[in-house]
Amino acid sequence: MKFICDTQKFSEICSNVQRSVSTKSTIPAIEGILITTTENSVTVTGYDLEVGVITSTQAKVEKQGSIILNAKILCDILRNLPAPTVSVEADERMTVKIKSGDAEFSLIGISSQEYPELPSVNSSFPIVVKGGILKDMIRKTVFAAAENDTKIVHTGVRFEIADRQIRLVAVDGFRLAIRNEEIDYIGEEQVFVVPKKALNEIMKLVIDDEPVAMNIGKRHIVFEINNYIIVSRLLDGEFLNYKSAISINEITTVEANTRMLISSIERTSLVITDRAKSPIRCIFEDGLIRTSAITTLGSANDKIPAQIKGNRIEIGFNNRFLLDALKVCDTDEVKIKLASPVLPIIIEPKEGNSFLFLILPVKLK
C-alpha cells in the first residue's frame, strides 16, 4: 500500500475517527485505525465494538492495500508533520513508513484481516433530520442519560419517531429530559435507544445545514453525516415509563428569566463543592425566587424577580442538576411547575413544548 495525501486533511479525519477507538482493550486491532485505499481515496475506520466511525479523503494512490496502525501514535505523528503533504507506504512485513518533508517515521502495523467487521443495517429508507435540529435535540437530552445504571438502557437516549414527530428522552433516576421536534416523516413508529457515546460523537461531526440520515436496524443504527458514517449498537431493555411522571398537578407556576436564574444559582453554588456538599434551597414566594446554601465553607443567599402564581413552596435541589437543565434552555424565559416540596419540578419553555426537564428534589434539613 502506498498513497500521498494532504497532511492537514488526513490528520483531521484520523483525529475524528480516533475518538471511537478503544483505549483499553485486550484486542490490539481495535486500539488502532484501519486504513484502506481505493483508486483515488483513503478510508479510515475506528471501532470499539460499540461505536464505529468511517470517513475518507482524496489521495494519490500508487498501490492499493490496507493496514491497521495504533491510533494514538498515528494521530500524534500527523499533528506534528512539517509539510503540506504526507506519504504513507506499507510493505508485506507490516512495516509502515510515514514521510512528510524531512520527517520520516517507521511504524509496525497489524494485518487488516484482524480488524472486526462493522455491522451492516438493512433499512428500506432512511429517516432524515436536519443536522442543526438533531444536534440541539441531543444537546438538550444526553446530559441526563445515566452514567452507570443497573439498567444499561438508561445510559442512552431514547428516540421516538412517529408521524411528523421526533422525541428524544433521557433519564438517570434523578432527572429526565425530553426534546420534541417536527420532522418530515410519515411511516411506522420507530422506537430505539442509542448509547450516549455515539450521540456525543454525532454532536461533534454534525453540520447545522446538512441533513443527517438515520438507517435503523434491529440491533444497530447507521448515521450518515456529511462525509462520515457512524455505526452504533442499540441498547436493549425496558425503558422507564416516563409519561405518567411528567403529568403533575402543579399548585405553583413560576415564570423567570433564564439567564438571571442561572446566574443566581451559580452565585449561590459558590459555597458548594465536592467536599462541602449541600442542596440548594429555593423559595418561591411574593414575586421572588430566593436561593440559599449552607456548607462547611460558609453560606450564600440570593434572589431574583419572577412571576409566581400559586402557593409558597420551599424546596431543595442538587444545584448541578438545575444548572445542567437551565443551561441548555435557549429561550429567554422558562416556566417552572411545582406540586410539592417532595415531588419533582418541571421546567419548560414559557411558550410551546419543544423541551421538558423533570428534576427530583432533595430533602432539606
- Mark whether 16 and 66 lie in a shared domain: yes
What's the confidence (pLDDT) of residue 150? 77
Shortest CA distance to 18 belongs to which of 73, 90, 56?
Answer: 73
Within this chain, do residues 271 and 173 fall inside the same structural domain, yes or no? no
CATH number, domain containing residue 338:
3.10.150.10
Q: Residue 99's closest CA among 112, 90, 108, 86?
A: 86
- The answer to whether position 239 is within a domain reads no
Residue 177 sits in the same domain as residue 109: no
Domain termination residue (choose one: 233, 265, 293):
233
Same domain, 68 and 137: no
Predicted local distance difference test score (pLDDT) of residue 275: 87
Model confidence over 23-45: pLDDT tens digits? 888 889 999 999 999 999 999 99
Which pLDDT score, from 0 to 100, does residue 282 have? 98
Task: Let me know if residue 241 belongs to a domain.
Answer: no
Give the end of a domain, one of 76, 92, 114: 114
Answer yes or no: is 153 within a domain: yes
CA dihedral 261, 266, 267, 270 (to 10 degrees): 160
Domain contains 122:
no
In a domain, 41, yes or no: yes
CA-CA distance, 204 to 186, in Å (whole number)? 28
Q: How many domains does the chain have?
A: 3
The pLDDT of residue 81 is: 98
Residues 6+ apart with CB under 8 A from 359: 174, 175, 317, 318, 321, 322, 325, 344, 345, 347
Among 114, 142, 168, the domain boundary falls at: 114
Q: Residue 228's beta-bridge partner residues?
A: 55, 225
* Helices 7-18 and 71-79, axial angle in degrees (round to 10): 150
Q: Which domain holds residue 163?
A: 128-233
Residue 246 covered by a domain:
no
Q: Are 253 and 333 in contact (CB under 8 A)?
A: no
Segment holding 263, helix H or strand E: helix 258-268
Cβ–Cβ under 8 Å, residues 143 and 128: no
One domain, residues 214 and 287: no
Sheet holding 66-70, edge to edge: 66-70, 32-37, 41-47, 51-58, 228-233, 220-225, 211-216, 127-130
Write the pLDDT tens digit of every residue in 321-357: 999 999 999 999 999 999 999 999 999 999 999 999 9
Same domain, 107 and 132: no
d(CA 209, CA 261): 31
pLDDT tens digits in sequence order for the chain, 365 residues long: 999 999 999 999 999 999 999 888 888 999 999 999 999 999 999 999 999 999 999 999 999 999 999 999 999 999 999 999 999 999 999 999 999 999 999 999 999 999 999 998 877 678 999 999 999 999 999 999 999 867 899 999 999 999 899 999 999 999 999 999 999 888 889 999 999 999 999 999 999 999 999 999 999 999 999 999 999 999 999 999 999 889 889 999 999 999 999 999 999 999 999 888 899 999 999 999 999 999 999 999 999 999 999 999 999 999 999 999 999 999 999 999 999 999 999 999 999 999 999 999 999 98
pLDDT for 121 equals 87
Please check whether residues 80 and 175 belong to one and the same domain: no
Same domain, 103 and 134: no
- For the entire predicted model, the pTM comes to 0.93
Q: What is the pLDDT of residue 24?
A: 82
User: What's the rounded Cα separation, in Å, for the pair 296 and 160?
Assistant: 45
* 228 and 297 in a common domain: no
Say if CB 47 and CB 32 are below 8 A apart.
no
Distances (CA, A) of 101 to 35, 62, 82, 84: 22, 19, 6, 8
Please indicate, yes or no, if residue 365 is contained in any of the structural domains.
no
Q: Does some domain include residue 273?
A: yes
